[in-house]
């Protein structure tokens, strides 16, 4: 009896241990599955909502204060630098270079013309005589910076003889909210147009401008590689102003194997497209151009907090036509109104602005939509309108969404619900016959569909391809599929083994009882 009791006690102990193992395994599998799911913490904003995500392979480069000693930039690489404002004791008056560009800035304050003061950073390019080169510069103001409407940057390209090739500018705008702002320059080889066609040394000049309180932001008139904006006027900044970080992204576009017509089609479908509808798919926007989250046609759900900027990229092939709108959810309280609270800007593959849309916010849901733009065509570069000019390449187009910091002061820290609706219409056309390779390689090709794009959302309108989304900028979203599938497989395996073991044990017990009924 003692032995039998011992055996029974041993069996109970083994059975208890096995049960504990089963419970632990199942619990671990369920915990792994739960951990992989993107709950509220997965879309929470970083502590510093104005932080900018630079490219992983970014190169640090020191800005020069003049052409002598200017650091060289190579198309295809991405660079990180900074730009300061001079102290109030620095000389005033507009920079001589401001009058050399194709667009000239003008501005008047309450007491007459504004006084200008700018800081400059110089960089160098060594170019051939067959490629177009584009240089985008993104400036990132520090979190908590006190900005004015006219705070911004201008970017120009000049040859070694000070001949202007292009000029573009960008300002913070009415929201005065610290956010990444992007301007660009170019050395283009357009048939029968412009200068700067020779091989040799060129300079990229980045200027930081500011408008004094009581003076209006400068406005400009003129033309350049892809925008009609001239340089804005600026005035002196306060002492101790912290520098703005810069991301500089030069890109080269090869020449064509044969010349093409320079006439731009006048007719295109300019009707306002119907935004796609359906159940939104959760995504997490990136924190910079290099970390932009890939989306396609469809409806996408995200969250944003005041002062935050989110980046998304959309593949747009030759002949395709992109449109987008963004919805901002309602707040928990109604406390005033914020002008220019939500802003969405469409940029082309070289980060030149195409269109933007903004909307004020009073605590109730609001929506902003881009105005219709033409299809992507090579000949668009010969157009007169800047938005059409910018639609000259296939590739990744960027949707950049910013929620003004003032929204938090009026309506709370959030997060606020964000719905992005993207449509890509039109028919794919043949690519132009490039004679060489771009830098980076394949930059103007859409290529095969991004393997990280997830299953498309259920659309009730749109083309048969549906929409797709990805999580390039969010490792948590990438873990959802892997973690969910992996945890599910483990759970099924554990349950299967458990069932098989129980069946074998029951069969063995039945056989033992049959052989020894008195046991």
- 248-261 confidence digits (pLDDT tens): 999 999 999 998 88
Task: DSSP letter for 129, please.
Answer: S
Q: For 316-340, how does the pLDDT look when each residue is reduced to its tens digit (9 = 90+)?
A: 999 999 999 999 999 988 778 999 9
C-alpha 493/C-alpha 201 separation (Å) is: 65
C-alpha 160/C-alpha 200 separation (Å) is: 8
Q: For 59-95, how does the pLDDT look when each residue is reduced to its tens digit (9 = 90+)?
A: 999 999 999 999 999 999 999 999 987 655 444 444 4
C-alpha 434/C-alpha 443 separation (Å) is: 12
Task: DSSP letter for 99, please.
Answer: G
User: Are 415 and 259 in contact, with CB atoms under 8 Å apart?
Assistant: no
> CA-CA distances (angstroms) from residue 320 to 287, 323, 395, 396?
26, 10, 11, 12
Residue 96: pLDDT over 80: no
User: Are 172 and 186 in contact, with CB atoms under 8 Å apart?
Assistant: no
C-alpha 234/C-alpha 120 separation (Å) is: 13
C-alpha 18/C-alpha 442 separation (Å) is: 57
Q: How far apart are the first and last CA of the chain?
A: 11
Which residues, 6 or more positions from 161, have their beta carbon under 8 angstroms from its beta carbon? Answer: none
Q: What is the pLDDT of residue 161?
A: 95
In Å, the largest CA–CA distance within the chain is: 112
Return the H-helix or E-strand segment holding 341. Answer: strand 338-347
Backbone angles phi, psi at 352, to 5 degrees: -90, 140
Report which of 323, 328, 279 is spatially closest to residue 303, judged by C-alpha positions: 328
Q: How many helices (H) and strands (E) does the chain have?
A: 4, 24
Strands 281-282 and 152-159, bridge-based pairing: unpaired
More confident residue, 165 or 446: 165
In the sheet that holds 164-171, the strands lie side by side as: 71-72, 119-127, 200-209, 152-159, 164-171
pLDDT-derived band at 118 (thresholds 50, 70, 90) equals low
Q: What is the mean pLDDT of the chain?
A: 76
What DSSP letter does each residue of 245-282 carry, written as one string?
A: EEEEEEEEEPPBSS----PPPS----SPPPPP-BPPEE
Percent of the chain with pLDDT over 70: 64
- Averaged pLDDT for residues 109-136: 77
């Amino acid at each position: 009896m003692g032995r039998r009791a011992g055996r029974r006690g041993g069996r109970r102990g083994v059975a208890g241990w096995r049960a504990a193992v089963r419970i632990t395994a199942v619990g671990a599998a369920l915990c792994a599955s739960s951990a992989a799911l993107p709950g509220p913490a997965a879309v929470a904003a970083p502590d510093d909502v104005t932080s900018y995500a630079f490219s992983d392979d970014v190169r640090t480069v020191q800005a020069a204060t003049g052409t002598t000693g200017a650091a060289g930039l190579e198309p295809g690489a991405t660079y990180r630098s900074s730009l300061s404002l001079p102290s109030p004791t620095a000389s005033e008056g507009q920079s001589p270079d401001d009058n050399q560009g194709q667009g000239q800035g003008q501005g008047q304050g309450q007491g007459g013309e504004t006084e200008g003061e700018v800081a400059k950073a110089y960089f160098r390019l060594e170019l051939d005589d067959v490629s177009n080169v584009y240089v985008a510069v993104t400036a990132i103001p520090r979190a908590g910076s006190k900005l004015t409407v006219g705070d911004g940057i201008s970017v120009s390209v000049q040859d070694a003889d000070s001949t202007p090739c292009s000029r573009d500018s960008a300002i913070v705008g009415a929201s005065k909210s610290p956010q990444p702002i992007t301007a660009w320059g170019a050395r283009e080889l357009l048939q029968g147009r412009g200068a700067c066609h020779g091989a040799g040394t060129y300079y990229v000049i980045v200027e930081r401008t500011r408008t004094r309180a009581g003076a209006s932001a400068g406005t400009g008139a003129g033309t350049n590689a892809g925008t009609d904006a001239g340089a804005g006027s600026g005035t002196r900044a306060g002492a101790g102003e912290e520098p703005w970080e810069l991301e500089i992204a030069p890109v080269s576009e090869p020449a064509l194997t044969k010349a093409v017509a320079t006439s731009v089609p006048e007719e295109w479908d300019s009707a306002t497209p119907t935004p796609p509808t359906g159940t939104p798919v959760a995504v997490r926007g990136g924190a910079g151009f290099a970390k932009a989250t890939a989306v396609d046609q469809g409806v996408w759900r995200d969250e944003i907090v005041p002062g935050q900027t989110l980046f998304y990229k959309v593949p747009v092939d030759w002949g395709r036509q992109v449109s987008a709108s963004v919805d901002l959810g309602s707040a928990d309280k109604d406390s005033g109104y914020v002008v220019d609270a939500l802003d969405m800007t469409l940029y082309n593959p070289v980060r030149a602005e195409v269109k933007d849309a903004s909307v004020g916010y009073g605590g109730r849901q609001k929506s902003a939509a881009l105005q219709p733009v033409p299809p992507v065509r090579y000949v668009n570069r010969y157009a007169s309108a800047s938005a059409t000019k910018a639609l000259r390449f296939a590739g990744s187009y960027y949707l950049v969404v910013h929620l003004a910091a003032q929204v938090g002061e009026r309506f709370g820290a959030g997060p606020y619900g964000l719905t992005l609706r993207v449509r890509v219409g039109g028919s794919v056309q043949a690519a132009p016959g490039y004679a060489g390779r771009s830098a980076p390689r394949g930059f103007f090709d859409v290529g095969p569909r991004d393997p990280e794009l997830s299953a498309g959302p259920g659309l009730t309108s749109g083309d048969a391809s549906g929409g797709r989304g990805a999580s390039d900028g969010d490792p948590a979203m990438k873990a959802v599929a892997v973690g969910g599938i992996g945890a599910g497989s483990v759970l099924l395996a554990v349950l299967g083994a458990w069932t098989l073991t129980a069946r074998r044990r029951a069969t063995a017990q039945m056989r033992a009882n049959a052989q020894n009924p008195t046991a």
